[in-house]
Amino acid sequence: MFHPVDLFASQTADKGQPGNMMGPLLLHLLLQGVLLYDAVGWEVRIPKEIHGLRGSCLVIPCSFSYTSYPPNDPSRVVWYQWVSKGYPLVYDPLHANNVIDKFKGKTDLYRKSGECSLLITRLEQSHHGEKIYAWIDPENVGWRTYAFYDVTSTVLVDASPQQPSISIYGGERMGDAITVGCSTFHTCPYSKPAITLNGVEGSDEEKDESIKDGLLKRTLTRRGVIRAESLTIMCSVTHYGGIKATATEVKRSKCFHNKITIEPELADVTEGVARSFTCNVHHSCQKENPTIIWNYKNMQVTTGNKNNQTSYSSITFLGAKEDHGKKLICTAKFSGGDVSASVVLRVQRE
C-alpha cells in the first residue's frame, strides 16, 4: 500500500572543514523557518463533521490553496481513514484495490463542490463516526509541508430523513393568491432530492441554497389561488436511494360573498298587503352556507340554496304607514365577514 512521503531533504554539516561550528544551528533555524512558512502556505478546507442519510449519497466539500511548495499534480487527490498508525485508503484511483472494504467501490471525487470533494455513493451505518481526510498529490507533497491528517471530517450517519418543512403565505380568503413552499435539507448535490407538492395547483419554482459546511437546502415554491375552504397540502421528498419523507398541513380559508341583491329593487308596498322580497347571496363557499337575516322581525321567512354557491332568503313583508321611507335590509353572515343589501320602502295606502 502506498504511504505519503516526506520530501524534505536532510542536510549534514561538513565536520571535516574548520569554521563550521555554526552549521548545525543555522540548519536547524533554517528548517524551523521553512516548516513554519510551509504550514502557513498550505490550507485544506473541509467541514469538521457532516451528516449523511443512510442508503443515500454524501458529498464532503473540500478545497485547498497554497502559496508555496506547489504540488506537481494538483488534480491528484487521495482520501484516507484517520488512524493512529498507517494510511488506510478511502479513495485512491491509482490503488483502488487497496481501498478498505467499507469504502471500496463507494467513493469518487466530486469536483463540482471543490477541487478535492469526496462523493460517497452508498452511505452505510458502518461509515458512522469515521474520521477521514484528503491528501493532495501525496507522492510529492510530504507531511512536513502540510499535516493533511490534522484536517479531518467526521461522517455522521442518520438512520432516517427529516420531515420536509411546509410554509404557507396568503390564502386567507377564497380566491386569494397563495404561496406554498416545501423545503428539505441534504448533503448530496450529486443527486438532489426530488420534491412534489399536492393539494394546490399553480406555477413552480425551485431554488438551491448552500447553508454551511456542505449542508444544502432545496425549496420548491408554488404560487396559485385558493379554490376551496380547506386544503390538505402534502409535500413529498425523495432522496437519492429512493428514501422518502412526507409532511402535511391543512390550510383553511374564509369564504366570502361575490354579490348580494334584493329583488325587486323597487320596494313599492301597499299598507296592509303582503309582498314578497328575496335576498340572493352569491358566494365562494363550498362547505359553509351563509346565515341570512332581515332587519324586520316577526315576519314569515323562508331560506334555501339555488345552487351550491347561491343562497337565498325570502321575506313576506306586511307594511304599515310608519314604514314609509325606511330601509328593508338583509344581511348575510360569513366566516369571512358580513355583507348587507337594502331597498327603501315606499308604502302606499290602499
* Cβ burial, residue 161 (10 Å; 0-12/13-18/19+): buried
Contact between 188 and 58 (Cβ < 8 Å): yes
Q: What pLDDT score was predicted for residue 112? A: 79
Instruction: Please give the pLDDT value at position 283.
Output: 81
pLDDT of residue 25: 39
State the CB neighbour count (10 A cutoff) for residue 158. 14
Q: How confident is the model at residue 284 (pLDDT cuts 50, 70, 90)?
A: confident
How would residue 229 be classed by pLDDT, with cut points 50, 70 and 90? confident
pLDDT at 1 over 80: no
pLDDT at residue 335 in the model: 75
Confidence band (pLDDT; 50, 70, 90) for 308?
Answer: confident
CATH no. for 165-252: 2.60.40.10
Q: Give the DSSP H or E segment for 24.
A: helix 23-41
- What pLDDT, on a 0 to 100 scale, did the predictor assign at position 111? 85
Q: Does 14 have pLDDT greater than 50? A: no
pLDDT at 20 over 80: no
What confidence score (pLDDT) does residue 285 get? 77
pLDDT band at 62 (very low <50, low <70, confident <90, very high): very high
Q: With a cut of 80, say whether residue 177 has pLDDT above it.
A: yes
If we measure between CA atoms, which residue out of 332, 328, 327 comes closest to residue 282? Answer: 332
Is 51:183 a contact under the CB 8 Å cutoff? no
CATH superfamily of domain region 257-348:
Immunoglobulins (2.60.40.10)
Question: 18 pLDDT exceeds 50?
Answer: no
Q: What is the CA radius of gyration of the chain?
A: 39
* pLDDT score for 128: 98
Give residue limits of the domains in the chain. Answer: 23-158, 165-252, 257-348
Cβ 148 vs Cβ 201: under 8 Å: no
The model's pLDDT over 288-299, given as tens digits with 9 standing for 90+, comes to 788 999 999 989
CATH code of the domain occupying 23-158:
2.60.40.10
Q: Residue 123 has what pLDDT?
A: 97
Each residue's pLDDT tens digit, 188-203: 999 999 999 999 999 9
C-alpha cell at 171: 390564502
Highest mean pLDDT (candidates 140-149, 280-289, 300-309): 140-149
State mean pLDDT over 315-330. 94
Q: Is the pLDDT of residue 34 over 50?
A: no
- C-beta atoms surrounding 38 within 10 Å: 20
